Amino acid sequence: MKSYVKVGAVCIFSLLLVFTFTAQSFADWPGNKPISVVISYKAGGGTDTMTRAYTSAMEDFIGTTINSMNRPGAVGALAMDFVASKPSDGYWWQGASNFNKSLRVMGHTKLSWRDWQYFKAANSTQSFAVRPDSPFKTMDDFIAAAKKDPGKYKINGSGVGGLWSEGVALLESTAGIKLRTVQYKGGKPGVLACLQGEIDVCASGLHEEIGFIQSGKLRPLAIFSKDPISLANGMVLKPVGDFVPGMAAFAPFGGYYTLAVKKDTPVPILKKIAAAFAKACNSPRFQSILKKKFFTKDVLVGGAADKAAAKAEATTSWLLWDLKIEGVKVNPADLGIPRPADFEKYWPPKGYKPRF
């Protein structure tokens, strides 16, 4: 009997030591150990710019260095898979965009929003522009030419299933035109391709085009927003719905800039990340970048970010499937993804509980 008591006491003492050590580890996180954030797209694009902006600001609040690295490819799947292979200890993050919303229907991964804790920072707006020597003076000119010569004119995408490719698909479907979409690894390479004459029209983020628009190196045709945007020089960027009325139903359309951390990361660490993230997104330094790049702040954490991620996946997955976009391999219904019209009835799904 005494031996059983002795063994039990040792076990309880050991459990207490483990609990105390674990709690202390969470309290000390991140300590002096640097954090690595793996960015899903090339340097210079919207995802890269935004990730570096908020993580740089987060360093002031989280207490350690945050190192950034770019790992582009497969519409963010390469970066996601790389981070997924790392320990769930809070030291590996993905600098993502759009909640990785198209990756499951593209067959790139089986991981969903349930496997990631997202933190949303801001939104961007898609923009359509041409070189100054382009024969297209307005969006009407471009639409008319594309209808006359289906498949003749080249426009950039951001990878099959990528955000800007999705916007181009919406334009083709709604305007009744056929374009030659040339895929690049992100929006910024598409802008450079347009400047170099590789494509006829640029369809990237306004933030990626604005500097060239303001300097006269690109002529804006339209932006994928509900309302016009007036620039300081008096130029007015017109909504694409003014030219293709059906597009207004999808506006505003653009990127969601998100940080992704493995969902099974200990809750105390997730809460620390969330607190630092919120403070960084409200910092003057971050606000100045938003204004300069024409982003809009939209901070979501915890359960609100989970719902936004699930809704984004539902909206995009069914859009890509219904439009029969090349490269879409999996029926959203087979993944249990609800149609957008049914999303509010679906949410919250059975068994779901927010991590914090």
DSSP string, 291-341: HHHT-EEEEE-HHHHHHHHHHHHHHHHHHHHHTT-TT--S-GGGGTPPPGG
The 8-class DSSP code of residue 71 comes to -
Residues 183/119, Cβ–Cβ less than 8 Å: no
How confident is the prediction for the chain on average, in pLDDT? 92
Residue tagged 């009835």 (tokens): 345
Residues 54/121, Cβ–Cβ less than 8 Å: yes
What distance in Å separates the CA atoms of residue 235 and residue 233, rounded to the nearest whole number?
6
7 pLDDT above the threshold of 80 = no
The β-bridge relationship of strands 202-205 and 126-130 is antiparallel
CA 178 to chain centre: 26
Percent of the chain with pLDDT over 70: 93
**pLDDT score for 153:** 98
In tens, the pLDDT along 224-268 reads 999 999 998 899 999 999 999 999 999 999 999 999 999 999 999
Where along the chain do its domains lie?
Answer: 1-28, 31-123+257-302+339-346, 126-250
**pLDDT score for 5:** 46
Higher-pLDDT residue of 325 and 103 is 103
Beta bridge pairs of residue 297: 122
Residues 6+ apart with CB under 8 A from 221: 128, 129, 130, 136, 138, 139, 142, 201
Asked whether this chain's domains 31-123+257-302+339-346 and 126-250 adopt the same fold, the reply is yes
**pLDDT score for 20:** 45
- Please tell me the least confidently modeled range out of 11-20, 48-57, 96-105: 11-20
What distance in Å separates the CA atoms of residue 144 and residue 173, rounded to the nearest whole number?
15
Using 50, 70 and 90 to split pLDDT, how confident is the model at 323? confident
- Average pLDDT (195-206) is 97
CA 84 to chain centre: 17
What distance in Å separates the CA atoms of residue 29 and residue 91, rounded to the nearest whole number?
9
- Average pLDDT (121-143) is 97
17 pLDDT above the threshold of 50 = no
Higher-pLDDT residue of 161 and 281 is 281
Residues 6+ apart with CB under 8 A from 279: 57, 58, 60, 61
18 pLDDT above the threshold of 50 = no
Using CA atoms, how far residue 175 sits from 45, 134, 147, 200, 201, in Å, is: 27, 20, 9, 17, 15
The amino acid at residue 206 is: L
- Fold of the CATH domain 31-123+257-302+339-346: D-Maltodextrin-Binding Protein; domain 2 (3.40.190)
- Average pLDDT (292-306) is 94
CATH architecture of 126-250: 3-Layer(aba) Sandwich (3.40)
